[in-house]
Amino acid sequence: MRLRAGLDTLLGLLPGGGALIGTALSLYIVWEGRRMGVDRQTVQRMLGNVAIEAVVGLVPLAGDLFDTVFKADLRNIALIEAALAGRLGGQ
């Protein structure tokens, strides 16, 4: 399995507010999904992904490693795509 570190992982390494910036960017993805018409249940799942990553991200180093594996942003983008595909496919 090949692991790649994304922007969220790198931001988490910054002292101070790096993890907060990463969480804000993750919440922007959730906001965009809602703006595109994703259903409430999907938005709740997306917020859960962000919350898990934010809470675990508070743990120094272990949180950064978790960010590299969990990838809440990629999970949330996949949820948006699936929700929109389901909506379009059901018409």
63-89 pLDDT per residue, tens: 878 888 888 999 999 999 999 998 766
Which has the higher per-residue pLDDT, 65 or 5? 65
pLDDT tens profile 8-58: 666 666 666 667 888 899 999 999 999 999 999 999 999 999 999 989 888
Residue 58: its pLDDT value, please? 82
Contact at 8 Å (CB) between 22 and 67? Answer: yes
pLDDT at 77: 97
Question: For residue 81, what pLDDT is reported?
Answer: 96
Which secondary structure element, helix H or strand E, spans residue 87, and what is its range?
A: helix 72-89
Backbone φ and ψ of 14, nearest 5°: -70, 135
Query: At 36, is the secondary structure helix, strand, or coil?
Result: coil
Residue 80's contacts (CB-CB under 8 Å, 6 or more residues apart) are 29, 32, 33, 36, 38, 42, 46
pTM score, two decimals?
A: 0.80
Per-residue pLDDT at 28: 97
